[in-house]
Structure 1
Amino acid sequence: MKHCFVRLFLIFAFFTSAPLFSQTDSIFFKNKDLLIGEIKSMDRGVITVSTAYSKEDFKVKWVQVDRILTNVPFIITTSDGIRTFGNVIGSESGKLTFKPEKSESVVLQLYNIIGINKVETRFLDRLKAEIDLGFTVAKARNQRQLTIRSRVGYLTKKWALSGSFNVLASVQDETEAIGRMDANLTYIYFLQKDWFAVGRLDFLSNTEQKLDLRSNTKLGFGKFIKRDNHLYWNFSAGTSFNNERFMGEAEKRQSAESWFGSEVNLFDVGDISLLSNVYAYPSITEKGRVRVDYRVDLKYNLPLDFYIKTGLTWNYDNKPTPGAPLHDYVWQTTFGWSWK
């Protein structure tokens, strides 16, 4: 009798716990392989799938997928600028039938889908993060240099929030210390047809340009000019409020600016990706003043979500504070790790 109760308990435990470990998604590939697991996302031409039998997520190129089956709601983004939330209700070779939350079902070609994101319920599951570190030691003048670069993102159905924090600190004997810090916080509200509204707060501190701190608050609109599984390119514009404090100056400087920006991200080129953006700030209240911020990063992906990144950041001001140069730049090479 005792063994009977044990067997009944094990059977009950198996069937009641099975849903907790069930893998609800099936991904069929063009070479006839089948992967059963949990679709976490499809971004930049790569679909990420978690399985119960592997500690590491599987990452496969989207062009290799023939069809998918899932009952989990997703945000799906297409190359013609449609971004909608709903469920996959059917699939066949090269296509899927998608039922948006508040409209009729549509048939989508897989090659037109450029993004799949599951809307997680837990706060931490919606986060993505990267951190890069670099450290240089030289005997000459006892030089020490530390570089830290970081980025975090948060995604919902309608909007996205991202931030970054980057630091360069260098000290050596018989020379003044060099310091540079830039950070930003960006809010994007997604509109239809590849349009978006953007609010952004930028910070910059730079000993080379005698800048104690610059805070710049931007509001505007943008549009993706091109977006597919190999690259995206957007353009944005708006107005901003600039607040600056320079070294040796007691008074803060405040000004209003217009701004124009563009960003290009090239990916799915083997293990290499390229991100570049530029922002120009013609001043409204300071006649003839123009500032420019430019950045380009080249990233090489390594196993286990590690990567090597090298990049250039350049800042220009045609009317700097007295004694400061017109421009400053920093080239950084770092080793990093990404979370999700």
Structure 2
Amino acid sequence: MLEQFKIPKWYTFMFYLSLAVFCNTQVKAQNDTLVLKNKDKLIGDIKEMNKGVLTIETDYSDSDFQIKWKDVIYVSSDQTYLMSLSNGRRVNSKLQTKTGDSNMIVLTQGTEVIETKITDVVYVKAIENSFISRLDASLSIGFNFAKTNNLTQFSVLSNIGYTADKWGFSAGFNSVRSNQDDVEETKRTDANIGAKYFMRHDWFALANATFLSNDEQLLKLRSSTQGGIGKYIIHSNRVYFATGTGLAWTNENYTDASIDTKNSLEAFLSLELNMFDFDDISLYSNFVVYPSLTESDRVRTDLNLNLKYDLPLDFFVKLGLTHNFDSKPIEGASEVDYVFQTTLGWELD
């Protein structure tokens, strides 16, 4: 039975991509300086500050130091960084604490000098020329086996993202496949790809494409292309909360070939919550509701919820919930489908 259980090409691709990112290292001069509230001083290379945690690489440690941003009282670096402020502004600048005031940061973009509170800086990343250096990626895998009926289950949760000066890209691929004797294989696969263009005052334009194959709802493939606009309501070093709205064009193909392909126009409203800097625990949730504009009384919803516990060396344990609802499914299909996943993985931040 195990010989028949093949890992799809998508899993192999994500694994080798994550491995390539992990193995990519660069040697830099380490001239950045940090002073912490306890008066400790660190000299090294500031790599990133994300979700309230600053990462600095030093010559005198085999592993990077991770420091809470709120504990920094002085920073000085001649590197150029891509930074996001709590008001949504994105700045390319060196990083320097204001002389005599540890609560303020001085940024210089061109000829403009910007003074802002250190707590208003919510994201910092060194600008490098290589494509790999701007990638974030994670891959987590779960596997279950039971002797009874030779039950095997394989699940994967994965994502990858890229951050540029004015825009960001992200993609994800998640799947669950189960096999057992005398029972047809069951599978559920969803994927997404999207981009945001960041504007002033925490507004952004968005474009997404989502894909779902789902045995429970008899979907061979549901693809939805979306475009709209969104805004960060909360954008801090502990919480991101954003909302978006727009239109979606949805195409549905069913596992029963006798059922015609369906096309529909939908509106969408999304809510996205990302909570972090709560010790080693983080929570991500995305909820989207799709009221149909071409089918009377039809409403769909998609929910993704991930709870992650960080382990040493960038490993983590993740609990995931994916839930889909359709108020008017085709005959014989369920209104609701959901899946719980427990996986172990690794990430690059």
- Structure 1 residue 322 corresponds to structure 2 residue 327: no
Could you tell me whether the CA contact under 8 Å between 1:89 and 1:99 is conserved in 2? no
Aligned residue for 2:33, secondary structure, equals: strand
Q: Indicate conservation of the 8 Å contact 2:28/2:45, yes or no.
A: no
Match of 1:140 in 2: 148
1:66 corresponds to 2:73: yes
Contact 1:315 1:327 in 2 (8 A): yes
Which of 225, 230, 252 aligns to 1:217? It is 225
Structure 1 range deviating more: 257-266 or 83-92: 83-92
**Given the alignment of the two structures, is residue 157 of structure 1 paired with residue 165 of structure 2, yes or no?**
yes
What is the TM-score when the length of structure 1 is the normalising length? 0.91
Q: Deviation above 4 Å: which 4+ runs of structure 1?
A: none
Please state how far the C-alpha of 1:55 moved relative to its aligned partner.
3.0
Say if 1:132 and 1:337, in contact at 8 Å, map to a contact too: yes
- Corresponding residue of 1:286: 295
Deviation at 1:77? Answer: 1.5
Structure 1 gap ranges (5+): 1-19
CA distance in 1, matches of 2:263, 2:152: 35
Find out whether 1:46 has 2:37 as its counterpart.
Answer: no
**Structure with bigger gyration radius:** 1
Q: Secondary structure at the match of 1:111?
A: helix
Deviations 1:63-102 (A, max 9, x none): 110011011111221222222222235534222211123x
Distance in 2, Cα, partners of 1:165 & 1:315:
16
Identical counterparts, % of pairs = 40
- Segments of 5+ residues of structure 2 without an aligned counterpart are 1-26
TM-score, normalised by the number of residues in structure 2: 0.89
Q: Give the aligned partner of residue 16 of structure 1.
A: none
Tell me the residue number matched to 1:305.
314
AA aligned opposite 1:200: N
Q: Structure 1, residues 276-328: CA drift from partner, whole Å, max 9, x if none?
A: 11000011111211100011111000000000000211000011111001010
Aligned residue pair count? 320
CA distance in 2, matches of 1:115, 1:107: 16
Q: 1:204·1:215 contact (CA, 8 Å) conserved in 2?
A: yes
CA distance, structure 2, for counterparts of residue 187 and residue 336 of structure 1: 24
Structure 1: how far apart are the matches of 2:63 and 2:347? 13
> What is the RMSD of the two structures over their aligned residues, measured on CA atoms?
1.3
Q: What amino acid sits opposite 1:270 in the alignment?
A: D
Question: 2: CA distance between counterparts of 1:208 and 1:165?
Answer: 19
Alignment correspondent of 1:57: 64
Deviation of 1:227 (Å)? 1.2
Aligned residues of 2:90 and 2:166 also touching (Cα < 8 A): no
What are the superposed Cα offsets for residues 262-289 of structure 1, whole Å, 9 maximum, x if unpaired?
A: 0111111110001111000011111211
Matched AA of 1:153: G
What is aligned with 1:124?
Answer: 132
* Paired letter, 2:109: P
Give the aligned residue type for 1:202.
Answer: T
Check conservation: 1:69, 1:91, Cα contact below 8 A: no
Is 1:257 the counterpart of 2:266? The answer is: yes
